[in-house]
Amino acid sequence: MSVRSRYLWFVGGWTVLVALLMVAVPLALRARLPEPIAVEWASSGSPESSSSLRDFLFGKLVWWLVVAAVWSVFGVRGVLRRRGLAWAGAALGVFGSLMLGTVVLTTVANLDAPDFRDAAELTGQGWLLLAGPLAGWLGWRLGSRSAQEPAATD
């Protein structure tokens, strides 16, 4: 399998996994979420604005799929000359973990709230700051490894 095809399998798998989890977690808890849900919080910690769950998820999914498509092209087309696959893997790791984390934290903050104004304070962003670089490092390692492995000859 060539470097590009391995990379595409990696990117495709990661993209689908993140997208599925972004949708599955809130939908599994939909019965416990208010409609609309809180999506932005003021600096005081109180919910500031709301959106329907469908619109919130659609917006996050579009962002994720656009970023995944752009970085996939960067990695496969060799737009990034030096270590292109590694940079693309790192970017997809960071952005995917941050997008998924944002959806999960927003869902948890809205759990069991009768109205979006009663949603809990958004907490856990520190974990996202730790998970992002870790996922980026793993993406970098996988991208670097796939670029270094020689293609199998038939």
Inside any domain, residue 16: yes
CB 113 within 8 A of CB 34: yes
Inside any domain, residue 110: yes
Average predicted confidence (pLDDT) for the chain: 84
Inside any domain, residue 131: yes
Q: Which residues make beta-bridge pairs with 88? A: none
pTM above 0.85, yes or no: no
* Domain encompassing residue 8: 3-148
DSSP one-letter string for 62-110: HHHHHHHHHHHHHHHHT-STTTHHHHHHHHHHHHHHHHHHHHHHHHHHH
Tens digits of residue pLDDT in 91-138: 888 999 999 999 999 999 999 999 999 999 888 888 888 888 888 888
Place of tokens 């948890």: 108
| Total tally of structural domains belonging to the chain | 1
Q: What pLDDT, on the 0 to 100 scale, is given for residue 154?
A: 42
Inside any domain, residue 153: no
